[in-house]
Structure 1
């Protein structure tokens, strides 16, 4: 049996005032926690501020270890940052048009934090609160940590109380699983959690990811309007700049992707979603050709947001690194954005007594590389 690790933060504590709101009195401190495999060449750090992934250290083809997740050194930086590095975002990830929706004949008005829209659950969504650490096994064959958050009825304008659990776990050989379970207590409500990790397989702060190779198991996407709100169409990617049906460098079509300096920020409809409900399906493969590091992402959600950190501009991160535009990519498995306002999209509504389950697995690997 593995000894259960002490539930003490290994970094800075935050005061009650930083948490704010009705939940502050119940969750007074935030810190960092580590999970490490027996071999010692695979580990992650997480924080209960936003139930966020802080780091992931994995080997390359030569056995060199690197941290492949962008993030901050302190909890205070997570609390004050705007990039949602590694956070569990919700209660509804992505955007809700005009910060409103109608459910069972009642109109709900949310807090706006993206122009006229709501994004990632509002200005104080799940990525901006302190979670309770329920369990923490830091070493062994399958180390894990479980975070818990109780979301109140009316929080950020959403109806109904929720019990929310997020579990990070390592398994052999280099698998990171994230499991999200949510129970609706007293009212129907939309639920759509996502993990907002920024990945750079060459190592955080190592430059852009335009040469990373990407394959998406998604033959359709959901086009958006000028406010990044889905039009309601589910369109084929074939023949468009959104087609990653075969593995190609991320930057291949970057110059023709619309929007400011270019870059991707689009929801893809994962193939195979019309099969068994909540079945795990392949979502994407990513590989850095220089280091040989790669991962394959599997999940059970209908969509995945592909984002190339277009708005990441000179952000000071861990160990003095400065993160620039395209310095990472995000693959956020999710429900379709604004699903509450599009009846033709897969439903994101969870009713009292129902359990929302969102599972994902990042399966890291590496290939031997040789200097030219």
Structure 2
């Protein structure tokens, strides 16, 4: 029997999954799905799928060293499953990603109280709004020399407890062979407000259902890390060298080499915040990751001050896509952003956006094999 061509396999990976998601969306509650769609960007055998539900990255299909195609992003089969997802598979989170201590902060002398969804604290803005809403599709060019899609979200004054309204945009763009750019921007039309958007995508370069990522080698351009407490908050405000600690990835090191020596909150694994070397406002290298078995590698560049490395510590027989089940360490995240809980730490660079300013967050993923 003749095996399908590489191009046909790519089409099967991209189109079949998109059809399943679209069909499921059509059968779900109309009030939640009538504006939700699945969108493809393609450049040769490089295929990316996104949805405007949470401006979410759903899949990235790339070849390995032998030309075999695989989806290297963890996720769900149906949009309906993303509605109730608590693992944050692929969305843009905001207004403030990561944690805010006690779900409160003070701005211009006023105390603001947020949705608490992580014990006593707020995680990823509170669990609603940005990652749990349908964004507007502003532009979509599926093919050509630089396929891209731009999503827009208007956050109203008081949403999640934050002051003022916010206009947020996210563009996913294929800017070259096996290069994915993620470009976030925001403006605050009327009042000052904290902003710290991040992409919460889980990666596994062996393929999303290929097991754990402990054998992936990781290099980070970070000689310091923000010291986090048991609630994964920088309560001391300290930034410490990584030298001589299990957090040191300045040289390529297997993710699992020292993972048993760190606690990502209440479980074993990395949930650590790194301060990226170099000027905080310029594009610079953040990380390189390689899966030796497949030969796939990814290089990340960004313009943010810090990056949160998370190793899927809380995944526990979690239902994924294509019939796969994700267990602990099935994927890793590289969440570039400003400092964690900056709204409560004047010693950290401010994440408060003023009217007339523009927030800009750029990431570029360069895949190779």
Which of 338, 352, 357 pairs up with 2:355? 352
**Structure 2 residue 301 is the aligned partner of structure 1 residue 284:** no
* Separation in structure 1 between the aligned mates of residue 289 and residue 338 of structure 2, nearest angstrom: 21
What is the DSSP-based 3-state SS (H/G/I as helix, E as strand, rest coil) of the residue aligned with 2:256? helix
Whether the aligned pair in 1 keeps the contact of 2:230 and 2:266 (CA below 8 Å) is no
Deviation at 1:260, TM superposition (A): 4.4
Cα deviation 1:103-153 (Å, max 9, x = unaligned): 111111111111110010113141111101111111111100000000000
What is the DSSP-based 3-state SS (H/G/I as helix, E as strand, rest coil) of the residue aligned with 1:121? helix
**Structure 2 residue 337 is the aligned partner of structure 1 residue 323:** no
**Structure 2 residue 277 is the aligned partner of structure 1 residue 271:** yes
What is the DSSP-based 3-state SS (H/G/I as helix, E as strand, rest coil) of the residue aligned with 1:142? coil
The residue aligned with 2:230 is: 226
The residue aligned with 1:84 is: 88
The residue aligned with 2:111 is: 107
Deviation at 1:67, TM superposition (A): 0.2
* Separation in structure 1 between the aligned mates of residue 247 and residue 233 of structure 2, nearest angstrom: 17
The 5 Å alignment of 1:149-228 reads: 149-228=153-232
Whether the aligned pair in 2 keeps the contact of 1:90 and 1:194 (CA below 8 Å) is yes
What is the DSSP-based 3-state SS (H/G/I as helix, E as strand, rest coil) of the residue aligned with 1:357? strand
* Separation in structure 1 between the aligned mates of residue 164 and residue 279 of structure 2, nearest angstrom: 28
Structure having the larger proportion of residues in helix:
2
**Structure 2 residue 24 is the aligned partner of structure 1 residue 18:** no
The residue aligned with 2:249 is: 244
The residue aligned with 2:75 is: 71
Whether the aligned pair in 1 keeps the contact of 2:64 and 2:296 (CA below 8 Å) is yes
Whether the aligned pair in 2 keeps the contact of 1:138 and 1:144 (CA below 8 Å) is yes
Cα deviation 1:148-194 (Å, max 9, x = unaligned): 00000000100010111000001221100000010111110100000
| TM-score, structure 2 normalization | 0.91
The residue aligned with 2:262 is: 257
* Separation in structure 1 between the aligned mates of residue 227 and residue 257 of structure 2, nearest angstrom: 20
Deviation at 1:10, TM superposition (A): 4.6
| TM-score, structure 1 normalization | 0.91
What is the DSSP-based 3-state SS (H/G/I as helix, E as strand, rest coil) of the residue aligned with 1:156? helix
Task: Number of aligned residue pairs: give it.
Answer: 346
* Separation in structure 2 between the aligned mates of residue 297 and residue 179 of structure 1, nearest angstrom: 13
* Separation in structure 2 between the aligned mates of residue 125 and residue 268 of structure 1, nearest angstrom: 27
What is the DSSP-based 3-state SS (H/G/I as helix, E as strand, rest coil) of the residue aligned with 1:251? coil
The 5 Å alignment of 1:42-53 reads: 42-53=46-57
* Separation in structure 2 between the aligned mates of residue 273 and residue 108 of structure 1, nearest angstrom: 31
Whether the aligned pair in 2 keeps the contact of 1:15 and 1:29 (CA below 8 Å) is no
Deviation at 1:261, TM superposition (A): 4.3
* Separation in structure 1 between the aligned mates of residue 75 and residue 51 of structure 2, nearest angstrom: 11
Whether the aligned pair in 2 keeps the contact of 1:196 and 1:332 (CA below 8 Å) is yes
The residue aligned with 2:6 is: none
Q: Which runs of 5+ in 2 are unaligned?
A: 1-18
Deviation at 1:16, TM superposition (A): 5.0
What is the DSSP-based 3-state SS (H/G/I as helix, E as strand, rest coil) of the residue aligned with 2:177? coil
Cα deviation 1:314-363 (Å, max 9, x = unaligned): 11111101111000000000111100011111110100121100000000
Whether the aligned pair in 2 keeps the contact of 1:339 and 1:345 (CA below 8 Å) is yes
What is the DSSP-based 3-state SS (H/G/I as helix, E as strand, rest coil) of the residue aligned with 2:258? helix
The 5 Å alignment of 1:30-41 reads: 30-37=36-43, 39=44, 41=45
Whether the aligned pair in 2 keeps the contact of 1:10 and 1:33 (CA below 8 Å) is no
